[in-house]
Structure 1
Amino acid sequence: MTKDFKEKPLEYFSSIIDKIDKNCYEKIKNSVSSLLGENKTILDQIPFLEKSTNSKELFRFRALVVHDSYDNEVFPLPELVESLFANAAVQSDKAEWMERKVVQCISIPNVSAWNHVKQYDGSVLVKLYTDEDVAVCNAYEFLGFPCEDEQGFTFHVITLQKLENDCNHLIEASGSLNPEMDNYLCNNLKTVRNTLLSTISSYLRGDALLSELILYHMFSKLKLKKEGYIDSLKLGQLNFNLIVGNEVDFAERTLFPLLQLLLPKVKYLSLDLNVLNNKAFESVMDYDNGILKIGELLLTKGTHLIVDETKLNQGELNEQGIRNLALLKDLIQHQTVMFNFTFPITISTDIPIIVVSEAKSMFSMEQSIQWKPTLECIEKVEVPQDMINTIRVFISFWKHKNIEWDHDVKKKMEDFFVEKRREASKYSAQDFSKQLELFRLMSMSYGQSEFVDEIWQKCDLFYRKWQQLK
């Protein structure tokens, strides 16, 4: 059965159903999902879609959903029979019609070289035949059939899987680790963390405080809790302004390569006047061609963004440039991206951001730090490739770990806040919120999902050092 599924998928599907009706796709999806659940290696043997083609073979396609507001398509069952089951010995009800959802997708942008999957690079209309919940700015792995028709290149989906863990191909699409990697991380957390920190420090020329901050930033993920005093605080993101003085190539030649080495998706955005005045940061609907034109700020959730303010040169901003800066400001302050469908649509996202500038940033950033290297040049640490891959898995996996604190821990933190207020009246609820965010990220960097008092003390010391620099 497994061999038939891979080599003769249409015959396999025909064996599942005896009649093509409105429920046939649901039956096929359930059968395929069950088969893949029983044997997870099957999916790895199905190739990625590499080119626009008509094919009766199964392919995988990893993509970012960029537009999901098309009207549903209604089509007659004979179309399904002729396109997918032309050679199948099954009956169809010619009187019935089906409905399918259509979404526009593009191959996942800003993927680091080590995380790149060789597949079709372009815009595709993906057609969904079951009630699958897909959302803009999220990435998925689709399994199905490619097709070229009057609409252009389309992809007919059998099953799909939302890509967790920032689309890191070293981790299963579901976000789980294989037992061997899970066991290695459990037994070698200290070594993995120390190697990661020393690698960061080597790129940053020995700046210990900034190295730790970059480390915690790598685990940054927006998380909002609504109930309770502590849980109502915004936890997760660690966005900041990095001040580098006259080191105007730092963002592009040092920070960007560092993040690309370790993270699966990173975008570098230069605020050069030519970029601001001539590129569109906003995604705009092209009604003549029926597709969304992709703007610079349309990124998959979890993509780390480096904004290079040091490249901003003298000159006059045109209307496009002014609009682009406003859109970037909204992303930085509110974590929203704008779509233009002749009327504006705002969608929430989750983009960790570092703004690099010569002096204080033009954008309102709650936190900042100045780069203070202690070495004259970068002294890169030689790290074996298998350890680099382990670090990549470690970051992506722990970034999405859910850390919850019980009542006793919350009470301890509240007592800490009261004591801090006694010691220093300037210590505010906002300071407490920032320190809680930092503690959660620091705990992740140690591979700890439980409260550890030693890490809490380290967090308090680090936060005080950081604030003293301001």
Structure 2
Amino acid sequence: MEVVPAGPSILDTIFREKFETYKNDPSLFLGDVLRNLEKNLPDTTNILENDQKFVRVRGMVQDDRGSEYVCLACTVEENSQAHLSTMLCRDIMNMGESKVVDFDGQVGRHCYSIVEIPGVHTWMEKIDIQDSRTSNSSLSSMPVEKLDKFIAKFIGDEAEEIPVNTVLEMYGILSSHSLDLNPSEANTNLENVKNLHVLHYNTINCSSMYPEQLSIADLKTTGRSLLKSLTNVFGDDTTAGWILTNLISTTYARPGGMPISFIPLNLVGITDPVKIVDMFQSLVPVVKHLPLTSELLSNVAFAPIKNYDKDILEHGELQLPNGTLLIIDETQLPTGSFPVSGFAEANLKVLEEFILEQKLSFDFGFYKIPMDVDVPIVILSSDTSRFLRTPFQVPAITGNVEFTKDEKELELFRQYILVAKSKVRDIIISGDTSDAIQNSFVDMCKELDKTADKSDLLNELLIVCRLMAAGNLREEVLFEDWARSIELERGRKNIMTAWKKLTS
């Protein structure tokens, strides 16, 4: 236990008032500390210890660091006077000239390595995310602190198994620690990395950050406006339709292990990716832009890898929160063959698994653990993708028309996308519609080449028609959605054929 100069603190004062209550349920102590800090906002430095700071922070769970156990209550003696103290919300004990003469119980803290949300953008950071505890309270006025990495420490069984890649908003006490003086807790503390003692937290779903503020009628109008804006940029309503379909796609189920409602979209004919990347970043809360180069493929691991020497899980480029849009950019790769080494072979396998199965395998050396992901994918390439095969390929030739920069219009587009995306998992297909789709597909197959994979085509069209229904903010697929999906697929094939002739 580290000894530092004593400073004023509300922790022991609060703890002494209801010691027996906190002994039975330490989480009640966290709530009382939070209320006291809230009352003293905006300046809480005068009631915390010298190394502590009350913060609001957001981040992604990168690794589970296990649990540690600390003293729940201890008796501290100073100048023949004894008083109760606690290690709750602390890494060090402010003892001054005091000494500990008795211990009473211990409590477990669940510890996680937290990193800054990969691909998060400024407009998303400004969104005020609230829950029943923070709504209409002064906590919601606290600025969000930016931290690259920290260890979050939780008390309570509900935090014992927070999945990796989960995005959290946390209110807590940020503090320092000393590895030299706490060697038994080296697994739950990292050198030069601060700890956050979490008082309150909530989970952020990057795919549903907006409450529904517009009416369904207004949202439908917004959806049509977004499609028109995309058509103006790309000069083609087929390309615009496929991009919009990708924007509202989500992997919500895996019957037989295969992801449903997932559309990895390959935009071909790209010469300048900046305009397209900027457009996606203005519409989606979290976007990971992955520009493939020989150096990146060779030198940077795409999957998380366990470093046993440092006892840490090293972050991989593709360790992303669900709801992230991943843009795989091949436009910087040289034509023809190019040298690769190191991680390249493993990284290409990681990308293939990510795209085909929506999985990311965490590499623990002796074994790998595959994790399900929900990450829509857009591949940018000058020709069709060299490494990553997807049936959803469409030319995306941008002209002189810029995508809107109007923040009010973008705000409406974002709301529409997130509301439409939230509808996908609940879409149903009635028996009558299913029969009509089946009859339509039988007729369609009569015109197909005998070598065509009819099963794959049916699955692809069913995915698209579900997304069509979600895009129209309905809860049920209508036959018109099926007809539109066929129209979109035929349009895609036609413009791909025309583009290939033009570029051959």
Establish whether residue 236 from structure 1 lines up as the match of residue 261 from structure 2: yes
Alpha-carbon distance in structure 2 between the residues aligned to 1:194 and 1:32: 49
Alpha-carbon distance in structure 1 between the residues aligned to 2:439 and 2:10: 64
User: 1:395-410 residue pairs with structure 2 within 5 A?
Assistant: 395-401=417-423, 403-405=425-427, 409-410=430-431
Alpha-carbon distance in structure 2 between the residues aligned to 1:385 and 1:288: 48
Q: CA deviation at 1:9?
A: 8.0
Q: CA deviation at 1:291?
A: 3.0
Unmatched runs of 5 consecutive residues or more in structure 1: 1-7, 36-41, 48-52, 88-92
Q: What is the match of residue 79 of structure 2?
A: none
Contact 1:65–1:135, Cα closer than 8 Å, also in 2: yes
**SS state of the match for residue 351, structure 1?**
coil
Contact 1:185–1:394, Cα closer than 8 Å, also in 2: no
Match for residue 60 of structure 1 among 34, 56, 64? 56
Establish whether residue 275 from structure 1 lines up as the match of residue 275 from structure 2: no
Q: What is the match of residue 28 of structure 2?
A: 27
**SS state of the match for residue 166, structure 1?**
coil
Establish whether residue 347 from structure 1 lines up as the match of residue 356 from structure 2: no
- Structure-2 change in CA distance of 1:72 and 1:210 (3 Å): same
Instruction: Provide Cα deviations, 1:377-421, integer angstroms capped at 9, x if missing partner.
Output: 3212556422211211221233123543557x1442144224421
Establish whether residue 113 from structure 1 lines up as the match of residue 122 from structure 2: yes
Q: What is the match of residue 233 of structure 2?
A: 203
**SS state of the match for residue 224, structure 1?**
coil
Structure 2 counterpart of 1:71, one-letter code: G
Instruction: Provide Cα deviations, 1:130-176, integer angstroms capped at 9, x if missing partner.
Output: 112410122111222111112331111122211124374xx3xxxx4
Q: What is the match of residue 361 of structure 2?
A: 338
Q: What is the match of residue 402 of structure 2?
A: 380
**Percent same amino acid at aligned positions?**
22
Choose 1 or 2 for highest CA Rg.
Answer: 2
Contact 2:11–2:33, Cα closer than 8 Å, also in 1: no
Instruction: Provide Cα deviations, 1:297-318, integer angstroms capped at 9, x if missing partner.
Output: 1111111111122322242111
- Structure-2 change in CA distance of 1:13 and 1:435 (3 Å): farther
Q: TM-score, normalised by structure 1?
A: 0.78
Match for residue 462 of structure 2 among 433, 436, 443? 436
Contact 2:268–2:380, Cα closer than 8 Å, also in 1: yes
Q: What is the match of residue 448 of structure 1?
A: 474
- Structure-2 change in CA distance of 1:83 and 1:18 (3 Å): closer
RMSD: 3.5
User: 1:43-54 residue pairs with structure 2 within 5 A?
Assistant: none
Q: What is the match of residue 166 of structure 2?
A: 138
Number of paired residues?
422
Alpha-carbon distance in structure 2 between the residues aligned to 1:72 and 1:368: 45
- Structure-2 change in CA distance of 1:130 and 1:46 (3 Å): farther
Q: CA deviation at 1:189?
A: 2.2
Q: What is the match of residue 369 of structure 1?
A: 393
Contact 1:22–1:97, Cα closer than 8 Å, also in 2: no
Structure 2 counterpart of 1:296, one-letter code: E
User: 1:62-461 residue pairs with structure 2 within 5 A?
Assistant: 62-68=58-64, 70-78=65-73, 81-82=86-87, 84=89, 94-116=103-125, 119-131=145-157, 132=159, 133-150=161-178, 151=189, 152-166=193-207, 168=209, 171=210, 176-177=211-212, 181=213, 184-204=214-234, 206-224=235-253, 226=255, 234-244=259-269, 247-249=270-272, 251=273, 253-313=274-334, 314-343=337-366, 344-371=368-395, 373=397, 377-380=399-402, 382=404, 384-401=406-423, 403-405=425-427, 409-425=430-446, 426=448, 428-461=454-487
Instruction: Provide Cα deviations, 1:2-21, integer angstroms capped at 9, x if missing partner.
Output: xxxxxx98599659944265
Q: What is the match of residue 38 of structure 1?
A: none
Q: TM-score, normalised by structure 2?
A: 0.74
Contact 2:358–2:375, Cα closer than 8 Å, also in 1: yes
- Structure-2 change in CA distance of 1:23 and 1:460 (3 Å): farther
Q: CA deviation at 1:287?
A: 3.8
- Structure-2 change in CA distance of 1:333 and 1:130 (3 Å): same
Contact 1:106–1:124, Cα closer than 8 Å, also in 2: yes
Structure 2 counterpart of 1:240, one-letter code: L
- Structure-2 change in CA distance of 1:201 and 1:422 (3 Å): closer
